[in-house]
Copies of this chain bind each other. A is one copy, B any other.
Amino acid sequence: MAGDGSDQRALQYEQTLMYGRYTQELGVYAKEEAARLRESGQRRSVSDRSRTLDLLEYDKGRCAKCRRSGYPYVLEPPAQDFISVCTVRCQKFLISRVGEDWIFLILLGLLMALVSWVVDFCIAICLQAQKWMYGGLDSNVFLQYLAWVTYPVVLITFSAGFTQILAPQAVGSGIPEMKTILRGVVLKEYLTFKTFVAKVIGLTCALGSGMPLGKEGPFVHIASLCAALLSKFMSLFGGIYENESRNIEMLAAACAVGVGCCFAAPIGGVLFSIEVTSTFFAVRNYWRGFFAATFSAFIFRVLAVWNRDEETITALFKTRFRLDFPFDLQELPAFAVIGIASGFGGALFVYLNRLIVQFIRKQKAINRFLMKKRLLYPALVTLLISTLTFPPGFGQFMAGKLTQKESLVTLLDNRTWAKQGIAEDFDYIGHSQAWKHPQLNVFVTLVLFIVMKFWMSALATTIPVPCGAFMPVFVIGAAFGRLVGESMAAWFPDGIHTDGTIYPIVPGGYAVVGAAALSGAVTHTVSTAVIVFELTGQISHILPVMIAVILANAVAQSLQPSLYDSIIRIKKLPYLPELGWGHHEKYNIRVEDIMVRDVRYITLNCCYRDLHNVLLTGHLKTLALVESAESMILLGSIERAQLQSLLSQQLGRSKRLEYIRERAAAEKKHLSVVSIPGSEDGSQRASQEVRFQISTEESSFSPTRPAPQKPLKPALKRPSVVERPTEIPTSPNDNSGIALKNLFCASPDTEGLEDDGDVEDDMTIREISEWEEKQLDEQVNFNNCKIDPAPFQLVERTSLHKTHTIFSLLGLDHAYVTSIGRLIGVVSLKELRKAIEGSVTVKGVKVRPPLASFRDSGTSSSENEATELHKLWDRHKSMSLPREHTPSESDEKSQ
Known A325-B311, A534-B542; judge A856-B696 contact (CB<8 A). no
Residues in B whose Cβ lies below 8 Å from that of A779 = 891
CA gap between A698 and B590 in the complex, in Å? 11
Mask for A546-584, Cβ within 8 A of B = 1, else 0? 110010011000000000000000000000001101101
Minimum C-beta distance from A862 to chain B (A) = 4
Residues in B whose Cβ lies below 8 Å from that of A581 = 101-102, 287
Minimum C-beta distance from A18 to chain B (A) = 9
Known A65-B850, A314-B326; judge A859-B243 contact (CB<8 A). no
Q: Is there contact, CB below 8 Å, between B872 and A550?
A: no
Minimum C-beta distance from A821 to chain B (A) = 4
Minimum C-beta distance from A825 to chain B (A) = 12
Known A329-B302, A781-B891; judge A240-B286 contact (CB<8 A). no
Mask for A797-826, Cβ within 8 A of B = 1, else 0? 111011101100110000000111100000
Residues in B whose Cβ lies below 8 Å from that of A834 = none
Q: Which residues of A from 823 to 880 have beta carbons under 8 Å from B? A: 850-859, 861-862, 865-866, 869-870, 872-873, 876-877, 879-880
Minimum C-beta distance from A102 to chain B (A) = 7
Q: Is there contact, CB below 8 Å, between A693 and B858?
A: yes
Q: Is there contact, CB below 8 Å, between A783 and B866?
A: yes
Query: Which listed residue (B327, B537, B793) contacts A313, Cβ 8 A?
Result: B327
Of A146-154, A368-376, A396-404, A626-634, the stretch lying at the interface with chain B is A626-634
Residues in B whose Cβ lies below 8 Å from that of A550 = 287, 290-291, 294
Residues in B whose Cβ lies below 8 Å from that of A858 = 693-694, 696-697
Query: Which listed residue (B275, B547, B585, B798) contacts A294, Cβ 8 A?
Result: B547
Minimum C-beta distance from A168 to chain B (A) = 30
Asked if A239 lies at the interface with its beta carbon under 8 angstroms from chain B, I say yes
Query: Which listed residue (B19, B101, B895) contacts A781, Cβ 8 A?
Result: B895
Q: Which residues of A from 320 to 349 have beta carbons under 8 Å from B? A: 320, 323-329
Q: Is there contact, CB below 8 Å, between A584 and B99?
A: yes
Residues in B whose Cβ lies below 8 Å from that of A781 = 891, 895
Q: Is there contact, CB below 8 Å, between B66 and A852?
A: yes
Copies in the complex: 2
Mask for A162-186, Cβ within 8 A of B = 1, else 0? 0000000000000000000000000
Mask for A73-90, Cβ within 8 A of B = 1, else 0? 000000000000000000
Asked if A538 lies at the interface with its beta carbon under 8 angstroms from chain B, I say yes
Q: Is there contact, CB below 8 Å, between B282 and A239?
A: no
Asked if A471 lies at the interface with its beta carbon under 8 angstroms from chain B, I say no
Minimum C-beta distance from A801 to chain B (A) = 5
Known A694-B858, A876-B604; judge A852-B539 contact (CB<8 A). no
Known A294-B550, A865-B789; judge A584-B246 contact (CB<8 A). yes
Q: Is there contact, CB below 8 Å, between A876 and B689?
A: no
Asked if A456 lies at the interface with its beta carbon under 8 angstroms from chain B, I say no
Query: Which listed residue (B16, B246, B302, B315) contacts A587, Cβ 8 A?
Result: B246
Residues in B whose Cβ lies below 8 Å from that of A795 = 699-701, 789-790
Known A797-B700, A821-B789; judge A533-B543 contact (CB<8 A). no
Q: Is there contact, CB below 8 Å, between B539 and A821?
A: no
Q: Which residue of the partner chain B has the closest CB to A104?
A: B582
Q: Is there contact, CB below 8 Å, between A784 and B866?
A: yes
Q: Is there contact, CB below 8 Å, between B820 and A789?
A: yes
Asked if A280 lies at the interface with its beta carbon under 8 angstroms from chain B, I say yes
Query: Which listed residue (B286, B533, B818) contacts A526, Cβ 8 A?
Result: B286
Asked if A261 lies at the interface with its beta carbon under 8 angstroms from chain B, I say no
CA gap between A582 and B98 in the complex, in Å? 12
Q: Is there contact, CB below 8 Å, between A587 and B240?
A: yes
Known A789-B795, A821-B633; judge A543-B861 contact (CB<8 A). no
Minimum C-beta distance from A175 to chain B (A) = 14
CA gap between A314 and B783 in the complex, in Å? 71
**Chain A: interface secondary structure?**
mixed
Residues in B whose Cβ lies below 8 Å from that of A634 = 821
Q: Which residue of the partner chain B has the closest CB to A557?
A: B287
CA gap between A805 and B239 in the complex, in Å? 22
Mask for A246-290, Cβ within 8 A of B = 1, else 0? 100000000000000000001100010011001111111011001
Asked if A605 lies at the interface with its beta carbon under 8 angstroms from chain B, I say yes
Query: Which listed residue (B297, B329, B546) contacts A290, Cβ 8 A?
Result: B546
Asked if A787 lies at the interface with its beta carbon under 8 angstroms from chain B, I say yes
CA gap between A850 and B809 in the complex, in Å? 27
Asked if A504 lies at the interface with its beta carbon under 8 angstroms from chain B, I say no
Q: Is there contact, CB below 8 Å, between A313 and B278?
A: no
Q: Is there contact, CB below 8 Å, between A821 and B636?
A: yes
Q: Is there contact, CB below 8 Å, between A605 and B877?
A: yes
Known A282-B280, A546-B267, A862-B692; judge A701-B806 contact (CB<8 A). yes
Q: Which residue of the partner chain B has the closest CB to A787?
A: B820
- Greatest chain B CB density within 10 A among A635, A790, A855 is at A790
Q: Is there contact, CB below 8 Å, between B290 and A284?
A: no
Q: Which residues of A from 709 to 762 have beta carbons under 8 Å from B? A: none
Asked if A882 lies at the interface with its beta carbon under 8 angstroms from chain B, I say yes
Q: Which residue of the partner chain B has the closest CB to A102?
A: B582
Residues in B whose Cβ lies below 8 Å from that of A526 = 286-287, 290
Asked if A232 lies at the interface with its beta carbon under 8 angstroms from chain B, I say no
Residues in B whose Cβ lies below 8 Å from that of A701 = 591, 793-795, 798, 802-803, 806
Minimum C-beta distance from A391 to chain B (A) = 32
Minimum C-beta distance from A31 to chain B (A) = 17
Q: Which residue of the partner chain B has the closest CB to A880?
A: B605
CA gap between A779 and B328 in the complex, in Å? 78
Q: Which residues of A from 199 to 227 have beta carbons under 8 Å from B? A: none
Q: Is there contact, CB below 8 Å, between B876 and A696?
A: no
Asked if A505 lies at the interface with its beta carbon under 8 angstroms from chain B, I say no
Asked if A298 lies at the interface with its beta carbon under 8 angstroms from chain B, I say yes
Asked if A100 lies at the interface with its beta carbon under 8 angstroms from chain B, I say yes
Query: Which listed residue (B283, B543, B604, B857) contacts A278, Cβ 8 A?
Result: B283
CA gap between A483 and B446 in the complex, in Å? 50
Q: Is there contact, CB below 8 Å, between A312 and B294?
A: no
Known A537-B323, A854-B66; judge A313-B281 contact (CB<8 A). no
Known A314-B540, A798-B701, A799-B700; judge A853-B66 contact (CB<8 A). yes
Known: A64-B854, A697-B861. 20 other contacts (CB 8 A): A275-B286, A280-B283, A294-B543, A312-B326, A313-B327, A313-B329, A323-B537, A604-B876, A627-B876, A633-B633, A635-B821, A693-B858, A696-B797, A700-B802, A701-B802, A701-B806, A779-B891, A783-B870, A787-B820, A787-B869
Q: Can you report 28 residue pairs joining A to B where beta carbons are below 8 Å apart?
A: A19-B854, A65-B585, A65-B852, A66-B852, A67-B856, A245-B805, A246-B584, A266-B542, A266-B546, A267-B529, A287-B526, A287-B553, A297-B543, A311-B325, A313-B329, A313-B543, A314-B324, A320-B323, A533-B539, A538-B538, A633-B821, A693-B857, A696-B861, A697-B797, A700-B795, A700-B797, A701-B798, A782-B869
Q: Which 9 A-B pairs have the closest CB atoms?
A: A101-B582, A635-B821, A700-B798, A701-B798, A693-B862, A294-B546, A790-B793, A539-B539, A789-B820
